[in-house]
Structure 1
């Protein structure tokens, strides 16, 4: 008995130590960017790990990014693409997950397998075909092209996660609603969606980050001045011979803000979504 009492605190401390170390490792690059964004170029290269002081404190990078570049346009493009893609992924993903989990029809398993393949095969392998299709529909250098690609990219994972959660909802709840004359759309929007909020938050966070940080498709499908996203717009401060590190770090600091805000909003639901499977 004494051995068990001693082992449990030690194992718990070991788990917390590992998680704490991983947290520091994950947050270190973000902290390094934020710290150096408020320092002069000399302060960055002299001691990149030091906090800004009265001598090294410098806001020139933020002033150049906001006043002398089109950063706010790029930021708005990224925000538009991310939010619209996220809304479409959550809506269509939840509806498709409801259909796969609730209704049994011929080809149900084959369709689920097809969507699972969409998770395993990177969408970038089809870049040439996607580019040809976008050019054919005259969508090059438009935000619509990015929204369509990101929606297709995020749907397989969203459907897989949401269908698993929907399958765990008791059938009696849905049958009772049908017996009361409630239509399928009302059952889905008024009963199912509120019950799978943790899963929706999980999908939202895991979908938003790759879309917001992506450089590949904006560079290929929307490289125009009016359609550039944040990740692509930051590249203008990186030259072949000279790099404006103050502007680069300031841009990256501003670009991190939406991701942090969204995580703080959905963090509780995200944790519930990640741990619900273990609890059950």
Structure 2
């Protein structure tokens, strides 16, 4: 029994090492000079100075890219959570003639990737005068990620007993009050899952900003990091510093959402 337990810890330790070592290597490389990275990429830096962080902050206008990424990511996730949770709540709680067809329409978004329709999408955004704008980028992300959120929320709502809704209506709540007073507090684990997944996807996305954003001042962090790649040379030290800075908001958001996820599970266990 002890040998089997030891084998489990060894396997878990191996997977943990494989997951965390690239992050550790990125963090250590952010303190190295270009010469250190090319000559000894796996070694520790000779000194821990913040010159690379200062240089990348000013050289690529990192603060501007950071602000744009925060605006696009936060706005996209909030709109996705609001629209998808309300749509899934209605589909799961109210039965009407086209219920299955509407749900299937949302599921099509999981089956058909938006990148296959990038040409008509670009033409549509041009007709709506939403090219080269953060608002247009938010609309594209909401449209691309809302299907997954509806699918997950619909499954979550289906597991909740409808007696909760009936009890709330007896107390005088209308349909919207049932949604935000009763259902939303119970769905924090599902909302945390959707928020983490979509936030990471939007934050790290390079494809859509490259297609829809033309002005440098409206670029996101992935576009900003592109300027560090030269035709004949790459500033690896500044690149690793920029990647380290860009990963910090995601780490903070992940820790916050994880705490909410655990609190949601604990609250549900205590209530039941």
For the criterion TM > 0.5, the same-fold answer is yes
Residues 24-173 of structure 1 aligned to structure 2 (within 5 Å) = 24-54=17-47, 57-173=48-164
Confirm whether residue 21 of structure 1 aligns to residue 18 of structure 2: no
**C-alpha contact (below 8 Å) 1:74/1:233 kept by paired residues:** yes
Q: Distance in 2 between matches of 1:100 and 1:18?
A: 42
- Tell me the TM-score normalized by structure 2: 0.92
**Secondary structure of 1:237's match?**
coil
Superposed CA offset, 1:82-125 (max 9, x none): 00000000000100110111011112112222222211221111
Q: Distance in 1 between matches of 2:255 and 2:244?
A: 17
**C-alpha contact (below 8 Å) 1:39/1:59 kept by paired residues:** no
**Secondary structure of 2:45's match?**
coil
Higher relative contact order at CA 8 Å, sep ≥6: structure 1 or structure 2?
2
Superposed CA offset, 1:155-174 (max 9, x none): 10111111111111111111
Moved more, 198-207 or 170-179: 170-179
The 3 A distance-change label for structure 1 pair 270 and 17 is: farther
Superposed CA offset, 1:175-228 (max 9, x none): 011112111111100110000000000000011111000000000101311210
- Which sections of structure 1, spanning at least 5 residues, go unmatched? 1-5, 275-280
Superposed CA offset, 1:29-75 (max 9, x none): 22111110011112212222222223xx4433212211233111011
- Tell me the TM-score normalized by structure 1: 0.89
Q: Distance in 2 between matches of 1:64 and 1:238?
A: 15
Q: How many positions carry a matched residue from both structures?
A: 265
Cα RMSD over matched residues?
1.8
Q: Distance in 1 between matches of 2:85 and 2:174?
A: 17
The 3 A distance-change label for structure 1 pair 63 and 121 is: same
Q: Distance in 1 between matches of 2:181 and 2:262?
A: 23
**C-alpha contact (below 8 Å) 2:186/2:264 kept by paired residues:** no
Residues 200-239 of structure 1 aligned to structure 2 (within 5 Å) = 200-239=191-230
**C-alpha contact (below 8 Å) 1:60/1:246 kept by paired residues:** no
